[in-house]
Amino acid sequence: MDNAAENGSKKDLNRESILKIAQEIFSKYGYRKTTLDDIANAVRKGKSSLYYYFKSKEDLFQAVIMKEVELLGKELDKVVNRNTDPVDKLRDYLLTKITTFRNLANFYNALEHAVTAIGFIEEIKNRYEQDEIRMIKRILIEGVRKNEFEIYDFNLAAIGITMAIKGLEMPLSAGTYGNMNLERSVDVILRILCYGIMKR
């Protein structure tokens, strides 16, 4: 390995190390209460070392959020690409989203407490929402192909389901649900999404 490649690799490792510790500290104290001094002390580096990788506290927080969003996207992509029944896939999607979301404290708090003073949050929320609509639409198209769903407007259906899930993710993520209660709640939601509330 030449010196340039070695230095680049070391820089990436240092950046990842800072991100990991910053993620923990932001999760514990929140964006507003966390200072770069807190993170520098935890990383055991001078604050100037943080500025080498990140322009500001906001820039570092954005990198942490992007890392969490990327992790959530990867987990949901795995569900969408599974070779399972479309109804089961919708259920797994919802369960995976909520259980993963619970562990992404910074992204959750940014959405829940609307850290709107930070401009990039709104942009990330919109991109995340569009990715969700795209993934749900894939499941719905697959369901129609397998003759399990009857849908006339995929876009509208995907938007409707995404918005319904969005309204439920906060209470389900924040609630004191054990795994069994969470699964039961998801099953109830899924029954309503798939079969409605009208008596048959």
175: confidence class by pLDDT, cuts 50, 70, 90: low
Hey, where are the domains in the chain? 1-54, 60-195
What's the pTM value of the predicted model, to 2 decimals?
0.76
Instruction: Say which residue, 23 or 185, is predicted with more confidence.
Output: 23
Tell me the helices (H) and strands (E) count for the chain, helix number first.
9, 0
Q: How confident is the model at residue 81 (pLDDT cuts 50, 70, 90)?
A: very high
Classified by CATH at the fold level, domain 1-54 comes out as Arc Repressor Mutant, subunit A (1.10.10)
Tokens of 15: 């950046």
Answer for the pair 25, 42: CB distance below 8 angstroms, yes or no.
Answer: yes
97-113 mean pLDDT:
72
Task: Find out whether 22 and 57 touch, Cβ atoms under 8 Å.
Answer: no
The Cα–Cα gap between 108 and 169 comes to 10
- Is the pLDDT at 143 greater than 90? The verdict is yes
Residue 155: which pLDDT band, with cuts at 50, 70 and 90?
very high
Q: What is the spatial distance between Cα 194 and Cα 200, in angstroms, rounded to a whole number? A: 13
Using CA atoms, how far residue 135 sits from 48, 97, 108, 120, 148, in Å, is 41, 12, 20, 23, 17
Q: Which helix (H) or strand (E) holds 17?
A: helix 3-33
In the CATH scheme, what architecture does the domain 60-195 have? Answer: Orthogonal Bundle (1.10)
- Give residue-wise pLDDT tens across range 21-45: 998 998 888 888 889 999 999 988 8
Assigned token pair, 2: 């030449």
Rounded CA-CA distance 26/61 in Å is 8
Q: What sign does the CA torsion over 161, 163, 167, 170 have? A: positive
**pLDDT confidence tier of residue 179, bands split at 50, 70 and 90:** low
Mean pLDDT for all residues in the chain: 82
For a pLDDT cut of 70, what percent of the chain falls above it?
A: 78
CB-based contact 17:43 (threshold 8 Å): yes
Whether the predicted pLDDT of 146 surpasses 50: yes
